[in-house]
A and B are shown apart, each in its own frame.
Chain A
């Protein structure tokens, strides 16, 4: 059975692109429009990988990522962050949140800045699932 990969992005065009990329490469894509819906689906479907946007309405990718890492059942699932936000900004925000909340959240498995090249994203997906 094809491996389930969850795509969380509020941009419809981005969801269509990433799900097509997954589907044509033999995965079974699931999609969600924000962190809230993403968490619901992740808990229900137990995907093998999550591809997560950062800036979304309602629950942001930053929060969803931390919730995934704090969830006993999901904390081992690899996550690829895919965002227009620069890598530096994202890691900085994670560090600040770690300090502020006194947590130690591990870094995501990969961080890709948009716009993403299909090959680059595929490569990251394969590496994360090894």
Chain B
């Protein structure tokens, strides 16, 4: 098949239309029908260069003819590992795969991709026709189920840990009271309180992530909000001998953000930062810094920086997968999921800088609007 010019729109030559179709098709030709199919149709050569694309394709991905398939669909220079077109070139068969792509408006979409060979008179594959249906809507419930299963696993573990803490703490309080040892009872009480704090945080995360939330943007002063959250963590920071500091650009006045979402996000980031400090035994001095400033004229940024243990490459990659792919994850707690949701809901993004043994900085960039 050759790439038709614009003049091909609206009909194909009279002689090539089956007479039986004519009544039904009226003035429309096959080309118009292919253009209007509610799926993306393209024809590609062996280098995955697009020779033809239908209108649905061009509407969602921009002009594709002459460009390379994965560049248009995914913006990558590498071929997709699961590419069905290449397999069809190899074995002349129909292949199917699922791909995650980016539309030209920036939205992500899941596609079910079918490929079929176009043979020349010698029976060789001359080109491959690719037909992709948008299955994002179908994938959503699947993802939600996966998310639910995963949250239940993570939660049961977290809750079991907290229960152990509560039981253990209560035992210590009991022993203290029994022996009239108030110091021991106090120590137990600290354990109980810390675990009450933990279960509160877990519960809030569940509530936040389990229902579809709509942003409630309000005029807020970020510096004040961050100060409030930091106060909540001052005790915990003191307990592990870490310094918790906040710094806000004073000219950053009122921003329109969802305060409860931002609070939830900060809670989780601070919690992680302090934990990263707590498990790092190599340094004598630990510090968590929350910085707020303009990122550029239209964006504000919130940075949470710690000099804790930092992440290994594996963890860093996993966290990025979590942010940039929706194909499930393994073992990340609810905390980062909530952070991700809050940032996404605000139309923002997250940057992560981390080095094993040195520390981690999360930078959240949110549009000011």
Contacts and interface: CB of A to CB of B under 8 A. Distances in A.
A16 interface: yes
Interface in B170-220: 171-172, 175, 178-179, 184, 187-188, 191, 194-195
A118 interface: yes
Interface stretch (A17-25, A44-52, A63-71, A94-102): A17-25
A115 B160 CA distance: 8
A115 B163 CA distance: 8
Interface string A12-35: 011011101100100000000000
B254 to A, nearest CB: 41
A16 B188 contact: yes
Given A13-B195, A17-B191, A118 B171 contact: yes
B187 A16 contact: yes
Contacts of A20: 171-172, 175, 184, 187-188
B161 A11 contact: yes
A13 B189 CA distance: 11
Nearest to A18: B168
Main secondary structure of the interface of B (DSSP, over half): helix
Interface string B241-254: 00000000000000
A40 interface: no
Interface string A71-95: 0000000000000100000000000
A2 to B, nearest CB: 16
A43 interface: no
A16 B168 contact: yes
Interface residues of B, number: 21
Nearest to B163: A115
A20 B175 CA distance: 8
A114 B157 CA distance: 11
B231 interface: no
A13 B191 contact: yes
Contact of A57 (B157, B169, B172, B279): B279
B235 to A, nearest CB: 15
Nearest to B187: A16
B160 A17 contact: no
A13 B165 CA distance: 6
Question: Most A CB atoms within 10 A — which of B167, B178, B184, B279?
Answer: B167
Contacts of A16: 168-169, 172, 187-188, 191
Contacts of A18: 168
Contacts of A57: 279
Question: Most B CB atoms within 10 A — which of A13, A16, A18, A21?
Answer: A13
Nearest to A117: B167
Question: Most A CB atoms within 10 A — which of B168, B171, B179, B194?
Answer: B168
Contacts of B161: 11, 84
A115 B194 CA distance: 17
Interface in B109-147: none
Given A16-B191, A17-B169, A18-B168, 15 more contacts: A11-B161, A11-B164, A13-B191, A13-B194, A14-B168, A16-B172, A16-B188, A17-B164, A17-B171, A20-B175, A24-B178, A24-B179, A84-B157, A114-B160, A114-B164
Interface of B: 157, 160-161, 163-165, 167-169, 171-172, 175, 178-179, 184, 187-188, 191, 194-195, 279
Closest 8 CB pairs of A and B: A17-B168, A13-B165, A115-B164, A20-B172, A24-B175, A13-B191, A13-B168, A118-B171
